[in-house]
Structure 1
Amino acid sequence: GAMLPYRRESPALPRCPVRGGRVVHGPQFAYCPSPQGRCPQPSSSSSSSPSPCRVQLCLLLARPWPRRVQSICVSLLKVPLMFGFLYLFVCSLDVLSSAFQLAGGKVAGDIFKDNAILSNPVAGLVVGILVTVLVQSSSTSTSIIVSMVSSGLLEVRSAIPIIMGSNIGTSVTNTIVALMQAGDRSEFKRAFAGATVHDCFNWLSVLVLLPLEVVSGYLHHVTRLVVATFNIRSGKDAPDLLKIITEPFTKLIIQLDKSVITGIAMGDESLRNRSLIRVWCGPTPPQVRGPWPCWVYQMITRRSLHNITRQKCEHLFTDTPLPDLAVGLVLLAGSLIVLCTCLILLVKLLNSLLKGQVAKAIQKVINTDLPHPLSWLTGYFAMVVGAGMTFVVQSSSVFTSAITPLIGLGVISIERAYPLTLGSNIGTTTTAILAALASPGDKLASSFQIALCHFFFNISGILLWYPLPFTRLPIRMAKALGERTAKYRWFAVLYLIVCFLLLPSLIFGISMAGWRALVGVGAPFLGLLFFVGLVNALQVRSPGRLPKWLQTWDFLPAWMHSLQPLDRLITRATLCCTDRCRSPEGWEEREGPRPDKARLGLDNPALSYPEEVPSPAVRVGSPRPPLHGATRL
């Protein structure tokens, strides 16, 4: 038989010979088996390549029986392992949310308690962001808002900016998940872009819709009209589809009494010293209704209370002497460890399963548009899929966090992840609508109106940033963030701190000084941001329309238009932990080949790409060469 050389990692597989021969196994070559029925060969006149299934079957038959059985068993074992790690991943997200609520839940309740602050739309927006980041659950923050509105402590119009802020805060989870793929630059670039496309959409929608809502009350009037038009009746609770699977495990770790946070937010000071950790899980007394005197109610209630036995909850922290903050920190550390471990193992399993022809087939199915007359409907179909999956798992954070590793592996493109994320935003609002329909009759109208505000906010954002290709600005912004993060991996942590902590806190502080201070600071900042974006676009597309001094940003100091100076500082601080900081030369640029510098850095995440290294010094009077990546802000 003819010898067939092949490489195991090669994506292109040659045709399999079918004529006689024996099987020879070696590190880099093998003969295919001789039976012609096992591997049919197309005629020599046909120029078409063999199908992937035929080639894979030839390679499998070329192995001895023990190796064939071992390969099949390993492949079959990977599938349940993948689902097991996915289950632990989802459970760790639930425990992570509980940990944040233990650590900052009462603080979140205190933030909601001050109604004078919440009446300021900008302050309400920031409160929604910070509270959702603190409790890591938009459903928890939304339920607090619904409770405050239904009880009359908060007006619907004042609650709308808080709903917008909770929409922004919930997108922090998948951004944290993207950090776990920082080991590979290309994967990190795609994963971070796929995660931040959610952030960019939410921020852009708020920048347009919040001023519109303040001026016109658009969402308030539309939702009030919908509530008044339809005869809405109380319905059933939202179905707990995912919790049926995850709660048996997560309840063994921790159980919380979320009514404490809601009570503190509504001004009940008696709950101030009460622990969030649930200790007693006994049944509640029965509700007695009927046209009877008060003494009948009291007698029935007393008799029923004697027959109720309270049972202690069965979880790890039932009888713990630790305070809520300590338990929250312990759960935070443990859940992050499990989250990172499961995510790393999931990525490795997906890498081994989704490779070669299998990965190509999945990518083709997911990322291919519908046939030509209906190709424009592909994105909207992806939105329906995203909304349906989010409705099943009842959490947009779980869905977007689950697809983030697939985006990093390249299985799902950024262009396809964008409509999936938008559909996820819609799916999480439908769950809130069903939950609002379960409210009592006197609270139904206000609860349903708030849920509809969340729904119409996301619908309005989709109409702004999706229908036309040139309006899909979040995709371009997310790709730019992904490229920047791939070059400077520390930028991802800086992005999280600035966008979800420092910037909201700064806006909150300025808004507390009054509208004049907010407009005086915010208007010039937004004007400068618009000017920089416009100049950047002209520098790329038509630099001739700009003055010569504006065609690059080199007239500014380096720290104002490049991350290289900050990268050097972070690199110096990072490498100070090694023996290099003890050398008499310190951290100075030394002549020598760049690979030596990279070897000394040991592939440190703070080091930039080789092309980011500045050019060597030039003589005085010679034209200054522009730094790579330093011509745009």
Structure 2
Amino acid sequence: MNESVNTSAPTLDDTTKGNLMQWVTVVGLVYLLICAVGMIGGGFKMATGEQAKELFAFASNPFAGLVIGTVATALIQSSSTVTSIIVGLVAGGLPVEVAVPMVMGANIGTSITNTIVSLGHVRAKEEFKRAFSAATVHDFFNLMSVVIFLPLEMAFGILQKLGSMLAAPFYDAGNVSMGGMNFVKAATAPIVGNAKNVAGNFGDHIGGIMLIILGIAVIFVAITLIGKLLKKLMVGKAKEIMHTAIGRGPISGIASGTLVTVLVQSSSTTTSLMVPLAGSGAFNLRQIYPFTLGANIGTCVTALLAATAVTGNAEAALQIAFIHLTYNVLGVLVIYGLPFTRYLPVYAAERLGETASENKMVALAYILGVFFVVPGLCLGVSAML
């Protein structure tokens, strides 16, 4: 008796069609992300009217803003989500000077993901030492950036000035001067406008709050799904780029870290991909270190994209997105560019990795302390001042 067995594999056409549909879905989700940022800006403006500055008076202390950005990102585990929300809030009236420390805090909070990933190597002492060091080098770099640039920003407003300069060419007397951006606003206007109209039926305050909540929810879902789809589509390519570029010099490492993060739209994913490589000993910490710096730069793309189509104070929204980019680029140029500061994060991460491998409770205390306990104490102290 002959039995026919269906051994046919998916054809190339089937695979191509599947990938094409996934890319179309990514584009659709990016569109929703941009719409959601517009909703947050519109909702915030509706809910606060002209009182936005007073509403965030508690965060006018830069340390409070820093803590808010750190804890929010540590909880959500996505700096792209948090910075996109910040862009929407700025478009709705949140003062740029209040938003700057929040963006800095988002950089710190995002590094919790790869630190948690390193705990997967905890059973093997040497492997855990290497993995935990590779994860926390990102933390120490971001902490150093804050220590250097937050005081400078408080004293001179350097990042605000640079962000304003970069945003200015896109605007002419408050209107977008580059025609290429107009179609983005036009494309998102129907959804954002209809959402505002529906929310307006509940009154400005209630409707504005509803619009903010909806926008945050859509951003969270959109970025999560974009990340999953891009991982499926691009992580294989990302790993190839990593293996090709890591160990070929700092410029190659930084460039590849930036590119991989743009491809997968998640600095957490990028840095987490390195942890197993470090744990296995395939690459040492100094080889991986530049790659993490590139991840910081690549993660800025989401907020920049979101800022191109917001309503309300659009120029300020683009300014804060450029501030995020400028801050991360300057961090690389200053900390990595100067020989006497270049490897300070590496030394600190190596010492912490050695200590944590001897006493595993140190790793847990570090995660809870840096990302939750210390920020909480700082927020409490700043509230009393």
Normalised by the length of structure 2, the TM-score is 0.68
Cα displacement string for residues 425-483 of structure 1 (whole angstroms, at most 9, x for unaligned residues) = 0001123212222335x543122111111111111211221123431211111111111
- 4+ residue segments displaced more than 6 Å: 271-274
Q: How does 1:109-258 map to 2 (within 5 A)?
A: 114-152=55-93, 154-231=94-171, 233=178, 234=181
Measure the CA separation in 2 of the matches of 1:179 and 1:171.
14
Q: How does 1:445-460 map to 2 (within 5 A)?
A: 445-460=315-330
In 2 relative to 1, CA 201–381 (structure 1 residues): closer, same or farther, beyond 3 Å? Answer: same
Q: Quote the sequence identity (%).
A: 42
What is residue 331 of structure 2 aligned with on the other side?
461
What is residue 350 of structure 2 aligned with on the other side?
479
* Helix, strand or coil at the partner of 1:183: coil
Q: Once the 2 structures are TM-superposed, how far is the Cα of residue 368 of structure 1 from its aligned partner? A: 4.5
What is residue 503 of structure 1 aligned with on the other side?
374
Q: Once the 2 structures are TM-superposed, how far is the Cα of residue 229 of structure 1 from its aligned partner? A: 3.8
For the pair 1:494 / 2:352, whether they are aligned, the reply is no
Q: How does 1:516-555 map to 2 (within 5 A)?
A: none
Match of 1:420 among 273, 277, 291: 291
Aligned length: 286
Measure the CA separation in 1 of the matches of 2:212 and 2:170.
40
Native 8 Å contact 1:122 1:508 kept in 2: yes
Measure the CA separation in 2 of the matches of 1:235 and 1:184.
55
Cα displacement string for residues 118-158 of structure 1 (whole angstroms, at most 9, x for unaligned residues) = 21111000011111112221122112211111011x11111
Q: Give 1 or 2: higher helix fraction.
A: 2
Measure the CA separation in 2 of the matches of 1:464 and 1:266.
45
What is residue 410 of structure 1 aligned with on the other side?
281
Gaps of 5+ in 1: 1-108, 238-259, 279-361, 370-377, 515-633
Measure the CA separation in 1 of the matches of 2:338 and 2:314.
37
Measure the CA separation in 1 of the matches of 2:68 and 2:213.
23
* Helix, strand or coil at the partner of 2:282: coil
Native 8 Å contact 1:236 1:437 kept in 2: no
* Helix, strand or coil at the partner of 2:299: helix
What is residue 229 of structure 2 aligned with on the other side?
none
Native 8 Å contact 1:235 1:434 kept in 2: no
Instruction: Tell me which structure has the larger Cα radius of gyration.
Output: 1
* Helix, strand or coil at the partner of 2:129: helix
In 2 relative to 1, CA 198–236 (structure 1 residues): closer, same or farther, beyond 3 Å? Answer: farther
Measure the CA separation in 1 of the matches of 2:208 and 2:310.
21
Relative contact order (alpha carbons < 8 A, sep ≥ 6): 1 or 2 greater? Answer: 2
In 2 relative to 1, CA 114–459 (structure 1 residues): closer, same or farther, beyond 3 Å? Answer: same
* Helix, strand or coil at the partner of 1:460: helix
Q: What's the C-alpha RMSD, in Å, of the aligned pairs?
A: 3.1
* Helix, strand or coil at the partner of 2:310: coil
Cα displacement string for residues 275-329 of structure 1 (whole angstroms, at most 9, x for unaligned residues) = x989xxxxxxxxxxxxxxxxxxxxxxxxxxxxxxxxxxxxxxxxxxxxxxxxxxx
What is residue 256 of structure 2 aligned with on the other side?
385
Q: Once the 2 structures are TM-superposed, how far is the Cα of residue 367 of structure 1 from its aligned partner? A: 5.6
Cα displacement string for residues 48-99 of structure 1 (whole angstroms, at most 9, x for unaligned residues) = xxxxxxxxxxxxxxxxxxxxxxxxxxxxxxxxxxxxxxxxxxxxxxxxxxxx
What is residue 82 of structure 1 aligned with on the other side?
none
Gaps of 5+ in 2: 1-43, 45-51, 172-176, 185-198, 200-204, 219-241
For the pair 1:401 / 2:272, whether they are aligned, the reply is yes
